[in-house]
Structure 1
Amino acid sequence: MEPTDIRAYQRQLVLFCLGIHGDSTAAEALELMGNAALEAGAPREAMLLTTAAAAGLLRELDREGLVRRCENRASGRDGRPVATWAVSDTGRVDSMPLPPSGQQQLAMPQLAPAPRHRTRGGLTMQQLMGLLNVEFDCMLEQMDREHQATQQRARQEFEAFRQRAMRVWAASEASA
């Protein structure tokens, strides 16, 4: 498995996922790609592992005109707006790409192969843990969004209370 094969697979996979899902942040694209790669049985070496790596890939594809940057979306997790991306007409991929084959490790070689016990769903333990990590990250993002919304509501309620208090104070000053 060559690095060029892996990069080509990642490029095709993100284009395919964006074509199905639509506008996505880098974190969402990473999750979509991870789920699709797990379902296809892709080796771990072929998967992007960080949001930063997914963002870099999306920027690369944007420079080539295969994706386009859309409106920013507020992110409670990042504390700032984050870019969303959509596949362009020239970048659209209609079928799920096949993962690269081969068992060559690109990172540090392992001393002994990890046991490949299958769970009831047919996933290996590593695949299951990867899926759980992605789900946990999604849960954290959702909790962050809910927390930001709660804070915003509290600010609005406080501002409304402050305005009412100022009107009462002004009225009491006028009558004195």
Structure 2
Amino acid sequence: MKRRWMILSMLLLTFLVLSAQGLPSCEQTYTIRYNDVTIGKVTAYDNPDGWTCQQNYSYSSASAHPKEGPTLQDSVAQFWLFQGSNGLCLFSVFGLEVNSSQGTAKVDYRLSGNGANGKVMLSDDNGELTEPSTDFFKGRWAWGDNTDGGVIGPLSGSDWVMEIDVIEMTGSLNAIAFTSGNGIPIPI
């Protein structure tokens, strides 16, 4: 049963699209669509202390410790936007810094649109989040007792689309959420 749900989740995310119109900001609403149907709207997490995206990820002890973002959970793959002092960034974090957390995740990201731009800003474990070609990113993570993940950004341009394909999730992960800046998750 668990495997069946994960396959269903992966199929849902294969068509998950995050899009923006207008210049990035904390107040802007970003649309999440599945098969051209809006399933939710999110905002970026605010940045009251002026952190860069990398500072907000707060990588230490081989794990993410986000200053602004959702509360990390061992069983939930987390995605969210953060308005860093160096631009709007997409965060992806898997697992939790606990003794029981382990697993793998394979995720592809495609960025397109008018003036779309982005780079790998941080890879939690060097080389696990890469940009093999322009505006195409691959995350291939494996973790044990820690988190894994990364940051893509700054996302710029006035109209852009980010397609997120979750190809595989194993281990303790059994849910996926894209969390809005107000802390409300949109389960996928």
Q: Same fold (TM over 0.5)?
A: no
Q: Of the two structures, which has the highest relative contact order with CA contacts closer than 8 Å and spacing of 6 or more?
A: 2
Higher strand share: 2
TM-score range normalised by the length of the shorter chain = under 0.3
Computing the radius of gyration over CA atoms, which structure comes out larger, 1 or 2? 1
TM-score (normalised: structure 2): 0.23
TM-score (normalised: structure 1): 0.24
